Amino acid sequence: MIAFPSFPGSTLRTLTVLAALLTGLASMTIAPARAAGSAAEADPATASAPISPALAATARTVAAQVCSSCHGGNGISVSPEFPILASQQRDYLAAQLRAFRARSRAEPDAHDYMWGMATMLDERLVEPLAAYYAGQPAAQGRPGDPALVARGDALFHNGLPERGVAACSGCHGADATGNTVFPRLAGQHAEYLTRQIVAIQGKLRDSPVMHGIVRELKPDEIQALTAWLASR
C-alpha cells in the first residue's frame, strides 16, 4: 500500500479525480513506459519523442481537472505558494515530475504537495504533461521596485565574481527563459523562487551545481534577484 503524506481534504479529492482519469490508461495501446531511473529518462533527447493524440488529450484533461487546482488554468498559478508552469522548459518539467515520483526531490514543498500527486501519475503521462505546459503562453512579468529590479538584473547577468557567484545567465539564458534541463525563471513568482533558493542553500533540495552558485547569496541579494526575475 502507498503511504501518502497528510493531505487536506481538497487535495485528497484531487487525488481521487486523478486516479479516475488514469484508469482509462490501462486499456490504451501505446509504447511501454520507460522504467524509473533508466538511462532514457536522463537523456534530454527523449523529450522530443512523438506523443500520441490520446496521451496528449489525457494530459490536457489531467492539467485542467487536477493540476489547475494549484497551478492555475494553463499553468499560471495565482498563489505564489505554487510555481507557474506555463512555458516552462519541457525537459526540466519532465525531470522534476520523475524526481517527485522517485521522491528524490524532497524539500518541504515537494513532500507536502507533489509526492502524492506524482506517485499517482502514470509514467506515460510525464512527457505529455511536460509538453502541454511547455507549450502554454508565458505569464506576464509583474513590475517591482525599479532600484531592486535593476540590482537583480546586474546580479543575474554578471554574478558576483569577487565572491565566486557565477552569473545566472550562463545556464538560464540572457532572458531567463531557460534551456532544456535549466528551468525558465522569467515571470516566476518571486516568493516561490526565494523559497527554492533558500531550500537549495540549506541542501533541503538536492541540487549540487546550484548549491555551489547560490550558497553565498545574502537575503537582500536574493530579494533583488527574484524581483528582477518576476518582472520579466
Report the length, in residues, of the chain: 232
Residue for cell digits 481538497? 10
pLDDT band of 49, cuts 50, 70, 90:
confident
> Is residue 40's pLDDT more than 80?
no
By CB atoms closer than 10 A (0-12, 13-18, 19+), residue 225 is buried
Comparison of pLDDT for 122 and 21, the residue scoring more: 122
Distance CA 123, CA 34 (A): 7
pLDDT number for residue 87:
98
Q: Enter the C-alpha cell of residue 84.
A: 507557474
- The reported pLDDT for the residue numbered 5 is 40
Most distant CA pair in the chain, distance: 59
Domains of the chain and CATH, by start = 10-134 (1.10.760.10), 146-231 (1.10.760.10)
Q: Looking at this protein, which amino acid is placed at residue 54? A: A
> Residue 103: how many CB atoms within 10 A of its CB?
13
pLDDT tens for residues 60-81?
A: 999 999 999 999 989 999 999 9
pTM of the model: 0.83
Cα–Cα distance, 89 to 138 (Å, whole number): 11
Residue 4 has pLDDT above 80, yes or no: no
Tell me what pLDDT residue 13 has. 58
Helices assigned H by DSSP within the chain: 9-23, 39-42, 53-62, 68-71, 90-102, 108-109, 115-120, 126-134, 146-158, 169-172, 190-201, 208-214, 219-231
Find out whether 90 and 134 touch, Cβ atoms under 8 Å.
yes
More confidently predicted of 51 and 19: 51
Distance CA 196, CA 147 (A): 23
pLDDT tens digits, 83-114: 999 999 999 999 999 999 999 999 999 999 99
Summarised one tens digit per residue, pLDDT across range 149-188 is: 999 999 999 999 999 999 999 999 999 999 999 999 999 9
| Vertex 147 angle, CA 146 and 148, to 5° | 95
Assign 26 a pLDDT band (cuts: 50, 70, 90): low
The percentage of the chain sitting over the pLDDT mark of 70, rounded to a whole number, equals: 79
- Residues 122-152: pLDDT tens digits? 999 999 999 999 999 999 999 999 999 999 9
Main-chain dihedrals φ then ψ at residue 81, nearest 5 degrees: -65, -30
Q: Pick the closest to residue 79 from 89, 90, 88, 68 (CA basis).
A: 68
Cβ distance 227 to 145 under 8 Å? yes
